[in-house]
Amino acid sequence: MRISSRQVVYLFVIIVFLILLRTAWVADDAFLTMRTVDNFVNGYGLRWNILERVQIYTHPLWMFLLSAFYYFIRDPFIVFYGLTLLLSLITLYLFGVKFATSPAKVVLGFSILIFSKAFIDYSTSGLENPLTHLLILIFLFIFLEKDHSLKTGFWLFFIASLVAFNRMDALLILVPALVWILYENRNMKMLIYAALGFLPFIFWELFSLLYYGFPFPNTAYAKLGTGISSLLLIQQGIRYAIDSIQRDPVTLFVIVLSVILALKSRNIKISLAAMGIVLYFLYVIKIGGDFMSGRFFSALLLAATVLVLKTTDISFSRTNLAMLGLIVVLGLSASNPDLRNHTTKHVDVRSYGITDERVVYFRTMALINLDWKTRQPDHIWVQQGLEHKAKGRVLSIGPASGLFAFYAGPNLHIVDTHGLGDPLLARLPALNTSDFIIGHFFRAVPEGYWKYKRSFGDQIKDKNLREYYQKLSILIHSENLLSKERLLTIWRFNTGYYDYLLNAYLADTATP
């Protein structure tokens, strides 16, 4: 009996899904977003600390999707696992039926996904990656398979808008394709259709500007405004790529291979998709990568796998078999491959601060290890959060973990010394600009800032910083979102009008 491609697809979807069940986990960073979700669902607004409007999450669409489910299911782990596994299952199915058009391509394509640690790890984790995977896969199918009519252009810009809504920087993967669509249809109608398609992201940006006072998440200001030189960040980004090669050799091999095959194909659509992969890869290097090994490469791997399938033949040729064999060998040679490891031990942090996050949280936060009776991970940060909540504490100053923040409850105000959740500290330079952990840049707490309970900056010793924070407070504390004073202050902050106050404070503190 001859087995059809569709049957092989079903078989591999089941295999990969079982692997995801076995390796499913939740990252601590996912609970940074879940604290906002919990506050939002319980009527406190889209806030991380309920006393101020600050956007700590980088993925608004993912946050809203989590909120929709959390409203009915008040269990963060069921929401995290349910949503990520569901989205990943849909992605695997669409990948198989739309791009794996022969048994040979099914075996090759799914083998790449199986042996890519980045893809497997971040198809769960509680972060936005599974939604990004699905949206980019849909975009690539429409872009590569359909004619670029006005209607198709609208839908491509609409999906790209959702990608940006889900994670702003992921839009870079699609930029070359979007520019080409505008070039192909050089007329006013296409510009109108493109603008209409981008309305979800445009509306979000307008809302963010009005509600939070800024167009970008607070985390962007905290991570990009550190004072660290571009050269050091690029060096860290190169280390991030090297770390990926060591822990997960399949991922970057396939990414590079897809670009080579795309250029050899001389197919303009495939080449543009490859240009998007290169553009995002260079962006990751420029910003210094991330502390989560492979996180920023998972979407690139999926896009690259699509291009590999689009540029290879449909049979079990010698080339395909050799490629498949190399994928398997590379996958098994990884330092900590998912397939042969139930890892429960902690992996040491490297000198440049990149970790295998799934391993770090697998013992306490994995689907197969979680205590479903208590529904609470056996983790020190959970215990500390519950202790703060039980004692009724209202202020904590220090680096905030997601688990600690979530389990401490909404009444605890956290002054996050990484600046991720604090609007003032996010705008101050990092303490150490030469020896740092990427994504975790410590700030010095200015004298008088939150030294007293509920002091909204009026006790800050430095007069320039005190005035700067008082202006910032208009954005984050004012109850009247549409007051003339607040709207004017929003304009002034986003055009650099108050930078002189911050610069004066930094100059004073730099003086011996």
Tokens of 365: 């936060």
pLDDT in tens, 212-230: 999 999 999 998 888 889 9
What rounded mean pLDDT belongs to the chain? 91
Q: Are 197 and 160 in contact (CB under 8 A)?
A: yes
162-171 per-position pLDDT tens digit = 999 999 999 9
What is the pLDDT, as a whole number, of residue 206? 97
- The reported pLDDT for the residue numbered 224 is 83
**pLDDT under 70 in the chain at which residues?**
1-3, 336-351, 451-456, 510-512
- Any idea which residue has 């939150």 for tokens? 450
Residue 412 near residue 393 (C-beta atoms within 8 A): yes
Question: Within 13 Å, how many C-alpha atoms sit on residue 471's CB side?
Answer: 20
Instruction: Give, in degrees to the nearest 5, the angle at Cα 198 between 46 and 479.
Output: 25
Report residue 400 as tokens: 């905030």
How many C-beta atoms lie closer than 10 Å to residue 197's C-beta?
Answer: 21
Determine the pLDDT at residue 169.
Answer: 95
- Give the model's pLDDT for residue 313: 83
Length of the chain: 512
Question: Using N-to-C axis directions, what is the helix angle for 249-265 and 318-332, rounded to 10°?
Answer: 150
For 204, other C-beta atoms within 10 Å of its C-beta total: 18
Q: Please give the single-letter amino acid code of residue 4.
A: S
Contacts of 483 (CB under 8 A, 6+ apart): none
How far is it, in rounded angstroms, from Cα 258 to Cα 23? 27
